[in-house]
Structure 1
Amino acid sequence: MNYTGEPLNILHTIGLKELYPLIRISFVVSNDFDLTHFKQAILLCSKTVPELFCKYVLNNNSFVPVTDDLSDILFTDQDPDNAIGQWDLFSDPQLRIFLNKVINGYRITIYLSHILTDGAGGKQFLYLLSKAYNTGEFTEKNHQEITWIRKLLKKHPVKSDPHVDHPGKPLSMPVLANSKNKRRRTVTYRLSKVETNKLRYAAHQAKVTLNDLFMAAFGWAVQRYSDTDEISLACPTDMRQFIPGKKELRIANHTSRYNISVKSSLDQPFEKVINTVHQAMNRNKEQFQCFQSIQELVANYDNYSLSDLQKIVEENYHVRNISYTNFGIIDNQKFSFKGSKINNFAMLGTYRKYPMFQVAVSTYSGQINFSFAMLGNDEEERMGKTVILTIMDLLRNFLQKAA
């Protein structure tokens, strides 16, 4: 049986040469972890989300079964960053998991197809996997339909404007002289639980969101290397928040994005950058500006060819060289394996070939994580680390002043 895709699956089928559409989640579980339960849990998840074991067919936006065998999904004793280069979403399953033995447990690396689901759906997959592991059964149904999005777009009509998604003064990272010896690499830095708590409180006191703080710090850090007097960033947002009533399982693409372009000087106080970003995001939220990024695609989906739809995506949801994503909080009550401890959690977007660069923020077990996945060399990795360390310095200085 084939499974029909929804319009927003097409969002991540453009720019495949620059960037392969995947979500990467990694963590370490302690020794009490039951491998047999874990394998059964993966198979159980595929009953609820059969597309996980399917290949993606681009020309008709559908998912076609290719396996029911766990050996096509779960791989042991391989370097995930190296091995993932062989993954082809157009002939392989949309899920790939790597298991590596470490002292007292396993390092687990999960790759999900971004064509199949977005970051919020990735979190829901983790919750589903945990539930399957801990209970051995469930009767959840996965919902992917977007009737509710169509209603939202009618209720909040917005004007399309390609300039919004293609800023005149984009952020950029410096091209380095030595660009040889590139390989896939991932890096995560964490704020402590104490710092995370203090930052949450300080943001509340300043009447801004944590997301405002992260965007301001990331934009300002990268602006140091950019020939621009603006911070232009796209901020993905989960549209599930607009669905009334009981929350359903939605491992699907339900993301649009807010675009901001604000004037910024490197000489101003960081607090001013935060407030400028906060005001821009507030205006966007009040005007439902996020719908601009998907409106044309959804409106024309039934009548246009695939290549025309991809052009619409390019105009309204294009791949930016400098990119930001905030996966929000991963609930450690919902994502846990009975009797085991989870450490070193990180959730990232795909590998970006430097000087493309993305910072991914996630919060698990009371700790904020800043991560990046890069195709680059040692020197380029240092540049990425420098940006994240600058972000953390800015946030720690903000905390000192708030105290």
Structure 2
Amino acid sequence: MYYRGEVLDFVNMLLTADAAPLMRSRLVFSSKIDIERLKAAVLASAQVVPEIFGRYQADHNRFEVLAQQPDDIVIEAQSPYSPENFDFDFKTGPQLRLFVIHHDQYDVLQAFMSHLLADSVGFKEYLYLLAKAYNYDDLSTVTNERRLRPVITQLQRQFSRPHPHADLPMNTVKLPHYQGINLRHIGHIMLTSKQFMRVRQVAKAQDVGISEAILAAYAKALQVLTGHTTITLPCPIDFRHFTPADETKTRVTNLTGTVYLNIKIDVDAPFAALVQHVHDLLSAERDRAAFLYRLTNLQKMNHTMPIGLMRKMTRRWVAQQPLSYTNFGVIDQQRLQFHGLTVVNCVFSGAFRENPLMEIAASTFAGTCTLSFNSIGSERDYQLGMKILENIQAQLLVWSQTSIVTAPAQPVQVANQAH
């Protein structure tokens, strides 16, 4: 059985041509999970999202499902097994792998999903669906909406006259790459629930988003490290926010676009001014709605052009950025309940990128925010990544101690902003 891919699936295939396009989550349970029940849940969820068993055919932008064998997805192992070293190939195997790592008194579930099938929000949606199936909830009325066309229609109603796309000059910063034995590293750092509560309070007082604050701290960390004062960072935009929610539908699909922010850093200005600058840049990008212009054209290409020509055209429009950011957002504890189990901790992260490429991911569970990266590189490369995370954490914590947020005295300059 074949299932047609959407244009953003194809875009993610191009952007991750040199590495497996992974997303990773790690769930720590309070006790042991029922393996047979988990396998049954995988089969039940496949009635809604059959593509999890499919192999991706890049030459046709589609998923081919030959069989639905839960043993192909659910893999058991004993601690200290590291599934990160598994040979993921989504062009020959399923788009989902669930590793149950057995410890003495409890289990850890590490879930890996292909970015060809879904974005970060879609990955969360699938895990919520899996939990429902594990709980024997009725999934007969649930459908998976993967089509991009209804989203574009809604976007066109809200942005009736999008500006033509104009590429901003990129001020791409590249990290150094240190020689050594290349290994897979997992780096993370946490803001405790108390610390993150303060960050949220200050963000609310300044009327900015948490992602905008993290991006500002990311840019500041890179400025401190490299000396560059103008840095381009990609910022994800979830198109689900522009369409009404439907409880009978899940969206295990790619519905996230990217805008590029040219962030100008005044080394003498307070961090609050930099956060405001990032907020203004993102607001301007949303108003321009250039992402809709690009999205509409990609959609037309997906239905009219041969794959080979589409690949050539898309590569001109969409460039792989060495530094990226993804936000998994808040993990809904109520929707991530598995019968008889308590999820003690849950962290999401992005793909393993080979240094000097780097992707920072943010996710929030039980009020605690985790910043993470997965990398392939030397020990010094890993230490550099940790240094960036620690700098981001420090910037946010200092900002969170601001008792009274005031607007900057002078308007912040918007760097290279096209209108």
**1:174 alignment counterpart:** 176
1:80 aligns with 2:88: no
Matching residue of 1:54 = 54
- The reply to whether residue 124 of structure 1 matches residue 125 of structure 2 is yes
1:104 CA displacement: 2.3
Q: Is the 8 A contact 2:329 2:363 kept in 1?
A: yes
Counterpart in 1 of 2:101? 100
Residue 6 of structure 2 corresponds to residue 38 of structure 1: no
Report the TM-score, using the length of structure 2 for normalisation: 0.89
Deviation per residue, 1:64-122 (Å, 9 max, x gap)? 11332122111222421111xx2211110111111111242111111111111111110
Which one-letter code corresponds to 1:237 in the other structure?
Answer: I
Give, in whole Å, the separation in 1 of the partners of 2:5 and 2:72: 22
The CA RMSD over aligned residues, in Å, is: 1.9
User: In the alignment, what sits opposite 1:266?
Assistant: 267
Q: Normalization by structure 1: what TM-score? A: 0.93
Give the residue type in structure 1 aligned to 2:236.
P
* Cα pair 1:359 1:370 within 8 Å, conserved: yes
- SS of 1:104's equivalent in the other structure is coil
Contact 1:153/1:295 (<8 A) preserved? no
Question: What aligned pairs does 1:1-400 form with structure 2 within 5 A after superposition?
Answer: 1-77=1-77, 78-83=81-86, 86-139=87-140, 140-152=142-154, 154-155=156-157, 156=159, 157-161=161-165, 163-164=167-168, 167-176=169-178, 178=179, 180-226=180-226, 228-244=228-244, 246-247=246-247, 248-400=249-401
Q: Secondary structure at the match of 2:246?
A: coil
Q: Is the Cα–Cα contact under 8 Å of residues 174 and 226 in structure 1 kept in the other structure?
A: no
Is the deviation greater in 359-368 or in 297-306? 297-306
1:135 and 1:402 map into 2 onto residues whose CA distance is 48
- Residue 203 of structure 1, CA deviation: 0.6
Q: Which residue of 1 aligns with 2:415?
A: none
Structure 1 residues 245 and 32: CA distance shift in structure 2, 3 A: closer
Give identity over the alignment, percent. Answer: 26
Q: How far has the Cα of 1:33 moved from its partner?
A: 3.0
SS of 2:272's equivalent?
helix
Q: Is the CA contact (8 Å cut-off) linking 2:165 and 2:290 kept in structure 1? A: no
Question: 3-state DSSP class of the match of 1:224?
Answer: helix
Q: Select between 257-266 and 284-293 the one with higher mean Cα deviation.
A: 284-293
The residue identity in structure 2 corresponding to 1:357 is M
In structure 1, the residue matched to 2:409 is: none
Q: Is the 8 A contact 1:294 1:317 kept in 2?
A: no
CA distance in 2, matches of 1:228, 1:161: 26
2:263 is aligned with what amino acid? Answer: V
Tell me, in whole angstroms, the C-alpha distance in 2 between the residues paired with 1:245 and 1:67. Answer: 32
C-alpha deviation, 1:136, in angstroms = 4.8
Equivalent-residue separation in structure 2 for 1:322 and 1:240 (angstroms): 24
Structure 1 residues 287-326: Cα deviation after superposition (integer angstroms, max 9, x where no partner): 3243245232113222222133223433333221010111
Residues 187, 100 of structure 1: alpha-carbon distance in 2 compared, 3 angstrom cutoff: same
Shift of 1:49: 0.7
Alpha carbons of 1:116 and 1:279: their partners in 2 closer, same or farther (altered >3 Å)? Answer: same
Choose 137-146 or 14-23, whichever is displaced more.
14-23
Gaps of 5+ in 1: none
Q: Residue 328 of structure 1: CA displacement? A: 1.0
The SS at the match of 1:301 is: helix
Once the two structures are overlaid, the 10-residue window that deviates more, 226-235 or 89-98, is 226-235
Q: Is the 8 A contact 1:172 1:223 kept in 2?
A: no
Question: Within 2, Cα distance between the matches of 1:57 and 1:231?
Answer: 36
Question: Which amino acid in structure 1 is aligned with residue 162 of structure 2?
Answer: V
Tell whether the 8 Å contact from 1:66 to 1:92 is kept in structure 2 after alignment: no
Helix, strand or coil: the match of 2:401?
helix
- Tell me by how many angstroms 1:153 deviates: 5.4
Deviations 1:1-46 (A, max 9, x none): 2111222210111144433212111121111533332221111111
- Secondary structure of the 2:337 match is coil
Task: Extract unaligned runs of 5+ from structure 2.
Answer: 405-419
Distance in 1 separating the partners of 2:21 and 2:245: 31
Q: 1:52–1:94: 8 Å Cα contact kept in structure 2?
A: yes
Distance 1:219 1:204, change over 3 A: same
The C-alpha deviation readout for 1:265-300, integer Å capped at 9, x for no partner, is: 333321121111111111122332432452321132
Q: Is the 8 A contact 1:124 1:250 kept in 2?
A: yes
Secondary structure class of the residue paired with 1:302: helix
Asked if the contact 1:256–1:291 (Cα under 8 Å) also holds between the matched residues in 2, the reply is no
Q: Check whether the contact 2:20–2:90 (CA below 8 A) recurs between aligned residues.
A: no
Between the aligned partners of 1:292 and 1:351, the Cα distance in structure 2 is 31
The offset of 1:191, in angstroms, is 0.9
Is the 1:160–1:296 contact (alpha carbons within 8 Å) kept by the matching residues of 2? no
Cα distance in 2 for residues equivalent to 1:277 and 1:316: 23
Q: Structure 1, residues 196-224: CA drift from partner, whole Å, max 9, x if none?
A: 21211111011111111111001111222
